[in-house]
Each structure stands twice: as structure tokens, then as C-alpha cells.
Amino acid sequence: MKKFMLDLSVKENKILSDQYHLLILTSAEKLPEILPGQFAEVRVDGSATTFLRRPISIHYIDYDANELWLLIQVKGDGTKRLAQMTAGESLNLLLPLGNNFNEPVEKDASVLLVGGGCGVAPLLYLGAHLKRNGFKVNFLLGARTKDDLIELCEYERFGNVFTTTEDGTLGERGFVTQHSLLNGSNFDYFYTCGPTPMMKAVARHALKTKAICEVSLENTMACGIGACLCCVTDTTEGHVCVCTEGPVFNITKLKWQI
């Protein structure tokens, strides 16, 4: 896929919680085609301590409204600056980068999209894509507490939503992998993004139930286009760049101890 460097303008900055913001970007030009699971390298201007671009998942694309959504979790100075952006400001992005989630081969496959923390970001667009292609979509989303479970109504547009919180303030108490859904039903496909221990637990469950499992990795990156070789992960084919061979990997390719 051809990659672009684009200046998009901020249409809206929605405050979702004290740590999550939704940046809705738009352009006078038609946005390029982007696949679920791909990401953008975002240049952060006006943050003295942010030197490199920040790799950020494509949260959602609305081609009709020509909108690209980025979910921003305020973690450091760079994401703090992104969270302060106001309508009309310009943001420079390289996109679309990386590979994509692969949809199931069988049309009647049961799929579960499992997200934790900011790792929920690519799953909204993936869910929309799968629903549009005729799949029945289920989301299992986890967070520390109910305030961090954001935009649930957005996910509900595309499938069933199940939740867990560590403090039990919403959904079942505990981690996503402890949810009763995983004991009761068998899923053919798991797609997951979030903290590594969570993804490993999902991968373990998928292996046990002989399901296919794709994970999206969040290694730190510099270039985002396969030039610097900084973001590698160890695979059955040796060290490969997460930015070009990933971010989405089938767990059978990774050398995870699971």
C-alpha cells in the first residue's frame, strides 16, 4: 500500500475520561484507504521533550464523513500535547503503516475481539470492518475501573460488548481472561491488543481451545517504515520489524513463552 505524509486538521478533540481523548481528524482531500490494524506515525509539535514521532493505532475511519479517529491515552509529554489539540490545528501523520488483521476464512466463524487499556484502539475499526463483511462480532473489553471503559456505545454499534474491570465497578470483576464468556463459549478467532501479559493470556486460551489468534504489538519505534530496525520482535523467522511485518502477528509466528 502506498504510504503518505499528510497534514490532517483536528475536527474535534473529545475528552473521554481524565486520561483518554478522542482526536477526530479530517482533510480537504479524501483520506487514503487504511486497513484495520494499521497505524500512523504522528509528529508531535510543541512538546520540548518529544523528539520522535509516536506510533498510534487507527481507531476508526468514517469514509463518508472523511474522518480518521485516534484514541490518545495521556502517558507522557507527547501524548499530553496531543490531548491539548484544539479544532482547526494541524497534525502531521505518516500513514497507513504496518500490516492488518486478517478476517476469518469461514463466514460463520465466531470471533472475539479482546482489548485492554488503550489497546482497545484498533479493535473498534476492526469490529466495524468485520461487521460490514458479514461476521458476528463480540468485544471483550477490560480496564482498571469503569471510568477507563470508554466509548462502549461505539463498540455496541458493531457487536456484543462484554466488559471486565479490576475493581468490579462495571462488568465482571477481574481480568478479561477471567470473564465467564471464555468458559461458556468457543470462539474460532481471537483478535487482541493491550498489555503483553493480557495478550499472552488470550494467546494461551486460544491455543488451548485450538482457535486462531492474532495479536497487535506495541513495541517502541523510531521510523515506523522498516528503516531503523529498532522495533523488532523475535519470531520463527528471526528478528523482524513490528512496524512493517506487524504490528499484527499470528501467535504461532511469535516466540512467546505461553
Partner 1 sequence: MANLNINIGKLQLKNPVMTASGTFGYGSEYSDFLDLSRIGGIIVKGTTIRARQGNPYPRMAETPSGMLNAVGLQNKGVDYFINHIYPTVKDIDTNIIVNVSGSTIDEYVETAEKLNSLENIPGIELNISCPNVKEGGMAFGTSCLSASQVVRAVRMAYKKDLIVKLSPNVTDISEIALAVEAEGADSVSLINTLLGMAIDVEKRRPVLSTITGGLSGPAVKPVALRMVWQVAQAVKIPVIGLGGIMNASDAIEFMLAGASAIQIGTANFIDPTVTIKVIDGINAYLDRHNFQSVTDIIGALEV
CB of 86 to partner 1, least distance (A): 23
Grid cell for residue 104: 476469518
Considering the rule CB under 8 A, would residue 153 count as an interface residue with partner 1?
Answer: no
Q: Map residue 136 onto helix, strand or coil.
A: coil
Q: Between the CA atoms of 253, 254, 256 and 258, what dihedral angle is there, to the nearest 10 degrees? A: -30
Q: Name which of 94 and 118 has its Cβ closer to partner 1.
A: 94
Residue of 14, 15, 29, 49 that binds partner 1 (CB under 8 A)? 49
φ, ψ at 217 (rounded to 5°)? -90, 155
Stretch that binds partner 1, among 46-54, 66-74, 145-153, 172-180 (CB under 8 A): 46-54
Contacts of 227 (CB under 8 A, 6+ apart): none
Restricting to residues 161-220, which ones interact with partner 1 according to CB under 8 A?
A: 219-220
Site string for partner 1, 75-114 (x = CB under 8 A): -------------------x--------------------
65 binds partner 1 (CB under 8 A): no
Applying CB under 8 A, the span of 7-15, 51-59, 157-165, 250-258 interacting with partner 1 comes to: 51-59
From CA 75, how far away is CA 73, in angstroms rounded?
6
**Which residues inside 2-21 make contact with partner 1, applying CB under 8 A?**
2-5
Q: How far is the CB of 188 from partner 1 (least distance, A)?
A: 31
Residue with grid cell 466463524, as numbered in its chain: 109
DSSP assignment of 65-96 equals TTEEEEEEE--SHHHHHHHT--TT-EEEEEEE
How far apart are CB 73 and partner 1 at their closest, in Å? 17
Specify the residue, 207 or 230, whose C-beta has the smaller distance to partner 1. Answer: 230
Classify residue 188 as left (phi > 0), alpha (psi -120 to 50) or beta: alpha
Euclidean distance between CA atoms 116 and 108, whole angstroms: 26
What residues line the site for partner 1 (CB under 8 A)?
A: 2-5, 43, 49-53, 94, 219-234, 238-239
